[in-house]
Amino acid sequence: MSERILDEPQSLYRLDSLGMFDALYHLSEQCRRAWELGTALTVSARDEIRQVLVTGLGGSAIGGDLLRVFAGRRLPVPVTVNRDYVLPEFVGRRTLVFAVSYSGNTEETLSAYRQAQDKGAQVVVLTTGGKLKEMADRDGVPVITVPGGISPRAATGYLFLPTVAVLQRLGLIDPVDGQVDELIRHLAGMREELKPEIPREENRAKQIAARFYRCLPVIWGASGTSEVVAQRWKGQINENAKAPAYWNVFPELNHNELVGFQEPEELLRRLQIVILRDAHDHPRVQKRYAITREIMGGAVAGITEVQSTGEGELARIYSLIYLGDYASVYLAALYGIDPGPVKVIDHLKARLAEE
């Protein structure tokens, strides 16, 4: 596919059968609605909450990671993300469990939900419907029902912000309404710079996609700030562009991955590294970026730094997510691939259902 497609909005839209560009464009409105839905839920804690656990998979789990990082600095109790059929042993009456599944039919999440109920945990369900909603309604468990019709990975606003709203509602974190307002405004501004109609020379997401094209993207974030974003970029490249990608975090990668850039040379020449930077990265981590680049020298095809924008933590983190989401859809276009359908996941789920 010619790189010219990046500057042909109509061709970009034509390739996109499930409206990924449209969902991306409306992320700001999605966040507003998600916050309304979350804050509207009447919920109270039956027992003192000692742990928070989010159980989900894929696009429905990444919101849990966002919560882990976001609430990690605000909550006196730990937040854990569970991507499995089985819940950890610590889950009990004093655990707040968010069971999150966009479709409401993911078997691992249904199994974890049942366990949470058996263990007497305080459960809140976040879904569009499916079996999860049926079970929760039957069990009298509070449900936040979010609108369907988009891909789970395009629904991060719906799958993350309501969990923050519930923590706020329960008095576990200080109000963050101001941050949410800023997030909504910030996304509405960013989309005017990232949408298909903005030409490549002015569009950061298209430029990043062009760098990734025919290369292997490696995304580096930093613990406590952009770590989830690095994972998100990887997942979005996989699911939207149907291409491999890898991620890691500072400072951990300075203790292992950094050593591994000597061989094989042919492969290293195809690596494109992106470093996700945030003003609140630990000061010692900020020093590591330059030293790491110095050590890397010219070992890989390229290293690009991306800086978050916005004031509050939510706007800053989402500014990086948004850029990566757009870049992954442009990368799909460069490969001539429809970003929406994930036939491999659908096939796997269907095959499992037969077993």
The catalytic site residues sit at: 239, 255, 349
State the residue number with the nearest CB to ligand F6R: 58
CB of 94 to ligand F6R, least distance (A): 26
One-letter-per-residue 3-state SS of the chain = CCHHHHHCHHHHHHHCCCCHHHHHHCHHHHHHHHHHHHHHCCCCCCCCCCEEEEECCHHHCHHHHHHHHHHHCCCCCCEEEECCCCCCCCCCCCEEEEEEECCCCCHHHHHHHHHHHHCCCEEEEEECCHHHHHHHHHHCCCEEECCCCCCHHHCHHHHHHHHHHHHHHCCCCCCCHHHHHHHHHHHHHHHHHHCCCCCHHHCHHHHHHHHHCCCEEEEEEECCCCHHHHHHHHHHHHHHHCCCCEEEEECHHHHCHHHHCCCCHHHHCCEEEEEEECCCCCHHHHHHHHHHHHHHCCCCCEEEEEECCCCCHHHHHHHHHHHHHHHHHHHHHHCCCCCCCCHHHHHHHHHHHHC
CB of 58 to ligand F6R, least distance (A): 2
Q: Among residues 310 and 339, whose Cβ is nearest to ligand F6R?
A: 339
Give first-to-last CA distance, the chain, whole Å: 39
Q: How far is the CB of 351 from ligand F6R (least distance, A)?
A: 14
Question: How far is residue 285's CA from residue 51's CA, in Å, rounded to a whole number?
Answer: 29
Q: What are the distances in angstroms from CA 220 to CA 153, 294, 304?
A: 20, 16, 10
User: 26 or 153, CB closer to ligand F6R?
Assistant: 153
Could you tell me whether strands 302-307 and 271-277 are parallel, antiparallel, or unpaired per DSSP bridges? parallel
Smallest distance from ligand F6R to CB 47, Å: 27
In whole angstroms, how close is the CB of 336 to ligand F6R at the nearest point?
20
Q: CB of residue 129 vs ligand F6R: minimum separation in angstroms?
A: 10
Q: Which one, 57 or 218, has the nearer CB to ligand F6R?
A: 57
> For binding to ligand F6R (CB under 6 A), which residues are involved?
57-60, 101-103, 106, 109, 151-153, 239, 342, 345
Angle at which helix 27-40 crosses helix 156-169, to 10 degrees, equals: 30
**Distance between CA atoms of 304 and 200, rounded to whole angstroms?**
16
Report the nearest approach of ligand F6R to the CB of residue 93 (Å): 26
